[in-house]
A and B are shown apart, each in its own frame.
Chain A
Amino acid sequence: MTMEPVTADRRSAGKPIAAEDEPILEVQFDDLEQQHEASMLGMWLFLATEVLFFGGLITSYAVYRSTSPREVALASHHMKVGLGCLNTVILLGSSLTMALAVRASQLRAHRDLLWWLGGTMVLGTLFLGVKAIEYTAEYQENLVPGWNFQIPEENRATIEQEQLNPGRFQMFFVLYFFMTGLHAIHLIIGIALVGVMAYLSWRRWFSGGGATQIEVTGLYWHFIDIVWVFLYPLLYLIDVHS
């Protein structure tokens, strides 16, 4: 059964499209396979860019941690490990729902797809909520550099005794807010993207169920998840045993 590929012209001509149709073939591609391959490779390359983007920050972190391990360890004790742990569970769960959404789109299971995309958005938003609670607590403890930062009472004596660099102590929080803030921005973009996909799927806008689009969105979502998997131990767990 060879089906005529649906072209962009057909959509603009207002002819009805349905999930049963083949996906729309953009004019620059020869066939659907090539189109799918290009979309996937494009997102993988974008993620390579993102790895280097966060890589610059993680390098900075590594340099400061290796040259001032004591300051970084002291500062990391102010992290809310419990909330961070909860957030890790939430985000890993959202990766599961996202993976199930991709599966549902490939099976053209329309209802399931909407449920899983919705679930992914809820979990993503939940993560942001927990993060907001953390940020608020840190603000109340005067730990936000550039706003109200003060070295906490309990660390002052140690810093003086061991002649540590208070600038490096604050640096941990600069990097913490920058790294988690950048991660949160990525997550907000991710939630918006999943939201757009959910809306378009709900309106049955995708010819052929939108499997490629949702798979590409899924790649991005898993990337956000993986960044957190690195940030969580780097920032929260480095000195948790001492």
Chain B
Amino acid sequence: MSAVAVEFQEREDYLQEYTLKSWLLTTDHKRIGLLYMATITLFFFIGGATATVMRLELMTPQGDVLYSPDAYNRLFTMHGVVMIFFFLVPSIPAVLGNFLIPIMIGARDLAFPILNLLSWYILMIGGAIALWILIFGGIDTGWTFYTPFSTMFSNTMVVPAAAAVFITGFSSILTGLNFIVTIHTMRAPGMTWFRLPLFVWAIYATSLIQVLATPVVAIAIALVAVERVLRVGVFDPALGGDPILFQHLFWFYSHPVVYIMVLPGMGVVAEIVPCFSRRPIFGYRFIAFSSIAIAVLGFLVWGHHMFVSGQSMYAGMIFSMLSYLIAIPSAIKVFNWTATLYKGSVRLDTPMLYALGFIGLFTLGGLTGLMLASLAIDVHVHDTYFVVAHFHYIMVGGAVMAYLGGIHFWWPKMSGRMYNELLGKLSALIVFIGFNLTFFPQFVLGYLGMPRRYYEYPPEFQVLNVMSTAGASILAVGYVLPLVYLLLSLRNPPDAGPNPWRATGLEWQTTSPPPVHNFDEPPVVMEDPYAYSPEAAEALDDNGTGDGGSTLRR
């Protein structure tokens, strides 16, 4: 320990050690965040590759790229399973949440650091099984595992896939548990609940869903495995089971999981928007409570996935009404972000471009969600590309945009380095254009009646499908670009400084990259979050000493 005292003049940041062992056995929440980042980036590109092949197949009305419709079934199933369970669910919580939650509340680490590392290993085990399935045969049930097809008829690797989902679920549960305990018990002196950054509120709400919803899908999936392996009735009507029960259990998790994916994104946007408009966030408490409201209401709307499944008409009406309700807290957030921009000193740096993209695309995705929540329209467009377009607007236009925005916003903090700002802006623009070109035509396709999950289609749909495929290729460029310039930035010296965006929040008050235990002195919080002022930003610009909140580069 004495060596540390001597070297203390030189900063000991959390990236100091380079050995493989120091990464694989680390209990530092920041390093574990980066481990998650590497893992889910891999899965993102695997999921992206399956999407690419699907879009290529759909470029022409007849089947030509793949050798059989069966292969197409496996492809879209793998796309869903990988993207949902191995990318979107862990994305913002496990990467940014892990890195930021302890720093944002002024703690040295999460409450249970070893459990945190264990969560990553659990994800790796589940991920390894998923890769094994991908290589040795795949699964063709769709990510929804609907019975009795999944239990009695499918000839693919359903049981390993069930195991992968079951195991990965525990990673998600334990991460959520760790966050809730940390946020409850480890806030720094002065960090009251209403001084928490809104990102923390969003992650808190997300964690509640992770802890309370995930076990239900775990048990449903376990029952699927029992029925399939032992050939005893649980859900198969031929054996006395009720397939609708499976759908209820499945969607009890799988609707709230949508909020696991998008709530953290809302938290990221609530951090970026005030920083780049130099204004305190508008309606702090409304945004904070709307996160909780979304988490709670999210548990009560699962039946809107089952309007045509044979559930009672009255259940359908109730679920439809409750689904409308959830638009209220979502809209509160959108209006508050927009109001924050008003009379702000807006700067369009890369994170802000992504955040603005999020607001627009999420609004479109949310409004089409209202259309789908109304019974009559849903019966008409159920299982068409309209639904596909809707949830991609939420998950890709929403969650992935926010994830990338967050990565760009906190990259200087994580790595200590700035990336190429021009390439950053370009990537945000390419992603936005590529995304809309890919998925907007799918709204039209769905409304015209093209069903999802088909490998061939009538020729009159070809123009829109070609547009969508062209958009997907643009989108792919937009996703590869950040990978390149972010990694290239690591060759620069760490010169970002502690606070390149002149942002508020505890994470910006420590060095970049932060020291092992985050702060040299235990922080004490004296003021509310988001203490920005547009006048100060303009004054700095006028006398030429500041650059209005942009990067301070050498």
Contacts and interface: CB of A to CB of B under 8 A. Distances in A.
Interface of A: 9, 27-30, 34, 37-38, 41-42, 45-46, 48-50, 52-57, 59-60, 63-64, 67-68, 145-147, 149, 165-171, 174, 178
Nearest to B235: A60
B233 A49 contact: no
Contacts of B180: 41, 45
A52 to B, nearest CB: 4
B213 interface: yes
B380 interface: no
B89 to A, nearest CB: 15
Contact of B230 (A34, A63, A145, A168): A145
Nearest to B217: A56
Bin chain B's interface residue count: 35 or more
A30 B185 CA distance: 10
A42 B111 contact: yes
Contact of A174 (B111, B177, B232, B242): B232
A38 B178 CA distance: 9
B230 A52 contact: no
A45 B181 contact: yes
A56 B216 CA distance: 5
Interface string B315-346: 00000000000000000000000000000000
Interface string B208-238: 0001111110111001001001111110001
A70 B220 CA distance: 25
Interface string B84-113: 000000000000000000100001111111
A162 to B, nearest CB: 15
A34 B185 contact: yes
B184 A145 contact: no
B211 A49 contact: yes
B249 interface: yes
B452 interface: no
B470 interface: no
B453 interface: no
B376 interface: no
Contact of A167 (B111, B240, B249, B517): B240
Contact of A28 (B1, B109, B239): B109
A167 B235 CA distance: 11
Given A38-B186, A63-B245, A56 B230 contact: no
A84 B487 CA distance: 62
Contacts, number: 111
The 5 closest A-B pairs by CB, nearest first: A167-B240, A146-B230, A56-B219, A53-B215, A28-B109
Nearest to A169: B240
A174 to B, nearest CB: 5
Given A49-B212, A146-B230, A27 B241 contact: no
Interface string B180-215: 111011100000000000000000000000011111
Nearest to B240: A167
B173 interface: yes
Given A56-B220, A174-B226, A28 B245 contact: no
Nearest to A13: B1
Nearest to B249: A56
B181 A49 contact: no
Nearest to B214: A49
A55 B211 CA distance: 13
A11 to B, nearest CB: 14
A28 B110 contact: yes
Contact of A45 (B102, B109, B177): B177
A27 B517 contact: yes
Contacts of A45: 177, 180-181, 211
Nearest to A52: B215
A48 B181 contact: no
A1 B300 CA distance: 53
Contacts of A38: 111-112, 181-182, 184-186
A37 B181 CA distance: 9
A67 B244 CA distance: 13
Contacts of A171: 233-234, 240-241
B237 to A, nearest CB: 8
A49 B173 contact: yes
A48 B111 contact: no
B90 to A, nearest CB: 17
A62 to B, nearest CB: 10
Nearest to B113: A28
